[in-house]
Amino acid sequence: MSKGAFKSFIKDAKNRDSYWVENAILEFTSELYKLMQENGVTKTEMANTIGTSPAYITKIFRGNANFTIESMVKLTRALDGKLSIHVSHKDSRVVWRDSIDGNKSRREEAKTWATVASTVGTRNKKVTAHG
């Protein structure tokens, strides 16, 4: 496949909802796995916490689960985390940073900062959301 054909393929894929669904699943499961590792929680422990099987947790990390917001919240809370959902302009580049208060040791007390560098016009925007 030529470089031009590949770019065309990617551009076409980004016009489909399925591309964005898979991207959201990948981002969610990557963050969930990272939180699981940071907390030293095994798949079995996580499964026991939410009352499911370790096989279901494996299915999640393979990207084969059909998520609801409720299931995403349950999975995140099982790891002492907090689910944050953000909507932005399609041309925005969003960067999330967790800021943890020095007196707190858990992420549930984190403040979430989102920096949105808008490509629409010439202005850069900084949006702050405290969780």
Predicted confidence (pLDDT) per residue in 80-111, tens digit: 999 998 888 888 888 877 776 654 444 444 43
The residue behind tokens 């590792």 is: 37
Position 59 scores a pLDDT of: 93
Nearest residue to 113 (alpha-carbon basis) of 94, 100, 98: 98
Close Cβ partners of 67 (under 8 Å, ≥ 6 residues apart): 25, 28
Q: Which of 2-6, 30-34, 99-103 has the highest mean pLDDT?
A: 30-34
Q: What percent of the chain has pLDDT over 70?
A: 75
Strands 111-117 and 93-99: antiparallel
Domain coordinates in residue numbering, the chain: 1-83, 84-131
Position 102 scores a pLDDT of: 56
| Domain 1-83 listed as CATH 1.10.260.40 | yes
Strand partners, 114: 96, 127
pLDDT at 120 over 50: no
Q: Contact 76/48 with Cβ under 8 angstroms?
A: no
pTM for the predicted model, two decimal places:
0.68
Q: Tell me the HSE value of 118 on the side-chain side, using a 13 A CA sphere.
A: 10
